[in-house]
Amino acid sequence: MAGATQDFSQFDISKEEIDKLVAEVVRYVLFKTHQNSGCPIKREELVQLVTKNYSQRALPAHVINAAKEKLSNAFGYELRELLRCRPSSATQGRSTQQTGVAEAKSYVLISQLPAEVYKKYVEDENSAHLSGFTFVVISIVHLAGGKIPEDILWRHLKRMGLCETDVSHPVFGNAKQALEILVQQRYLQKDKINGPEGNTLFYELAERALDGPVSEKMKEYISEVLFRDDSHFVILML
């Protein structure tokens, strides 16, 4: 942790105390990720862990950066920062500068293991179907231009055997809840728009689906499906 263990005098706090804070942040991130099915962790949660007993202004950033190094070196995880994006309807009419002010930051853990190693030794076979569902849904939204009305999304999912009214699907259980989890995990976000025919609910790609690694993997997935069975996707997007 050479990059994170520099001059501690600026904080008026011992190395032992900083190490203890770093360990606490690492434990919190690992536990919260497991407990909440990989939902992003808000930066303010990590800041509060540090500031509950210490008031030094620059200390939270230092501790979080040190925790990033420890998670990478000891556990093989990248603590990846995400910048929360707003629904497109909320940013219309605002300047780029205005929409970028005070956006909430959050973190997710991403394995740094090679894909084949992760799949063989780490990936839980019991949750593999959830990964598949995630990539199917965000791919549909991506192919629809990054945003899709709720009824159209369910129409596509119904063609794949998943109905909005399913409450005990043999694989996914409650279908609506399965989709809602993707919102909580910030792969999707909801956007309700007022129109001449009333309110329409849209699902839109959120920051996690737009983030580099996931976005690239999604595009690879789409390419594989297109090459394997392009007729299905042609039908899917009609």
The residue ranking higher by pLDDT, 141 or 85, is 141
What is the residue type of 82?
A: L
The dotted CATH code for 124-237 is 1.10.10.1210
Cα–Cα distances (Å) from 72 to 105, 123, 159, in that order, read: 20, 18, 41
The pLDDT of residue 227? 65
Q: What is the pLDDT of residues 88-139, one digit of tens each?
A: 776 665 544 444 434 689 999 999 988 788 777 777 777 777 888 998 999 9
Map out the domains of the chain as residue ranges.
12-123, 124-237
- The side-by-side arrangement of strands in the sheet containing 41-42 is 41-42, 105-111, 77-83
Q: What is the pLDDT of residue 3?
A: 45
> Among candidates 130, 134, 141, 170, which has minimal Cα distance to 236?
141
CATH number of 12-123: 1.10.10.1200
pLDDT confidence of residue 119: 76
pLDDT at 1 over 60: no
User: Own/partner pairs for 34-41, CB < 8 Å, 24+ apart?
Assistant: 36/184, 37/181, 37/184, 37/185, 38/108, 38/109, 38/185, 39/184, 39/185, 39/186, 40/82, 40/106, 40/107, 40/108, 40/185, 40/186, 40/208, 41/106, 41/107, 41/108
Hey, what are 125's tokens?
Answer: 């076979």
Residue 6 has pLDDT above 80, yes or no: no
Q: Which pLDDT score, from 0 to 100, does residue 95 have?
A: 46
What's the pLDDT tens digit per position in 209-222?
A: 999 888 888 888 78
Q: Report the C-alpha gap between 45 and 64 in whole angstroms.
A: 11
Highest mean pLDDT pick, 166-170, 187-191, 228-232:
187-191
C-alpha of 219 from chain center? 17
In this structure, of 2-6, 63-67, 165-169, the range with the lowest mean pLDDT score is: 2-6
Average model confidence (pLDDT) across the chain:
84
If one compares 238 and 160, the residue with the highest pLDDT of the two is 160
Give per-residue pLDDT as tens, 8-59: 567 788 899 999 999 999 999 999 999 998 899 999 999 999 999 888 888 9
pLDDT band at 202 (very low <50, low <70, confident <90, very high): very high
Q: Do domains 12-123 and 124-237 have the same CATH topology?
A: yes
Q: What is the pLDDT of residue 8?
A: 59
pLDDT tens-digit series, residues 155-166? 999 988 899 999
* Mean pLDDT in residue range 58-63: 94
